[in-house]
């Protein structure tokens, strides 16, 4: 399966946003998919997640996670790929079609209508967690006691 499209500097970011999107949210933002054929039908499998010894040193195998992958070709010949966490085949297919569309002249429109809202959702979700965690940060205060206290 070769990919003849021109390399896009933002493609990893695009594919990541599509993969990490809530499947329902993605379907809501991009409900209608153009005609396409499946180069690789959505397939469920596993990816081994690696950690590092001591957090920073040599890699080790921590455990697997479920992943679904899919590759499609649009009628114009553009190929799109998706690897998404989880077992949602529709999600993988939609992400692959959008990956392909992002290499066509529809990219600017989709960047604004689909990718920007996905990026906002993700940033908001992470910000919300970070703010809740922030509220649990300990503020120490020192009580001075004993004869030397002034």
Partner 1 sequence: MYVAVKGGERAIDNAHAFLAEARRGDPSVPELTVPQIREQMALAVARVMAEGSLYDADLAALAIKQARGDLIEAIFLIRAYRTTLPRFGSSHPVDTGAMAAIRRVSATFKDVPGGQVLGPTFDYTHRLLDFALTAEGAAPQAPKSDALGPMPRVSEHLDREGVIEPEPAHDPAIDAHPPDLTREPMELPAARALRLQALARGDEGFLLGLAYSSQRGYGRTHPFVGELRIGEVWVEVEIPELGLSVAIGAVTLTECETVNQFTGSKTQPAQFTRGYGLVMGQSERKAIAMSLVDRALRWAELGEEDTGAPVQDQEFVLMHADNILATGFLEHIKLPHYVDFQSELELVRRLRVAAMDAEEAAE
21 vs 30 by CB, closer to partner 1: 21
Residue reference for tokens 């180069």: 39
Tokens representing residue 39 in the block: 């180069």
69 vs 94 by CB, closer to partner 1: 69
Instruction: Single out the residue of 27, 110, 107, 40 nearest to residue 73, CA to CA.
Output: 40
Residues near partner 1 (CB under 8 A): 1, 3, 11-12, 15-16, 19-20, 43-67, 69, 71, 81, 83-87, 126-138, 140
Q: Supply the minimum distance, in Å, between the C-beta of residue 23 and partner 1.
A: 12
How far is residue 14's CA from residue 121's CA, in Å, rounded to a whole number? 14
Q: Supply the minimum distance, in Å, between the C-beta of residue 146 and partner 1.
A: 20
29 vs 95 by CB, closer to partner 1: 95
The SS3 assignment for 127 reads helix
140 vs 149 by CB, closer to partner 1: 140
- Count the Cβ atoms, other than its own, within 10 Å of residue 16: 15
Distances (CA, A) of 147 to 63, 84, 141, 144, 150: 57, 65, 19, 10, 8
């Amino acid at each position: 399966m070769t990919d003849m499209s021109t390399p896009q500097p933002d493609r990893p970011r695009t594919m990541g946003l599509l993969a990490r999107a809530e499947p329902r949210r993605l379907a809501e933002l991009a409900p209608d998919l153009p005609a396409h054929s499946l180069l690789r039908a959505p397939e469920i499998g596993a990816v081994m997640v690696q950690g590092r010894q001591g957090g920073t040193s040599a890699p080790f195998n921590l455990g697997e996670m479920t992943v679904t992958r899919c590759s499609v070709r649009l009628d114009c010949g553009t190929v799109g790929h998706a690897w998404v966490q989880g077992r949602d085949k529709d999600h993988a297919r939609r992400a692959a079609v959008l990956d392909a569309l992002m290499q066509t002249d529809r990219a600017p429109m989709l960047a604004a209508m689909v990718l920007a809202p996905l990026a906002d959702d993700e940033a908001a979700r992470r910000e919300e967690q970070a703010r809740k965690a922030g509220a649990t940060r300990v503020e120490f205060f020192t009580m001075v006691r004993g004869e030397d206290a002034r």
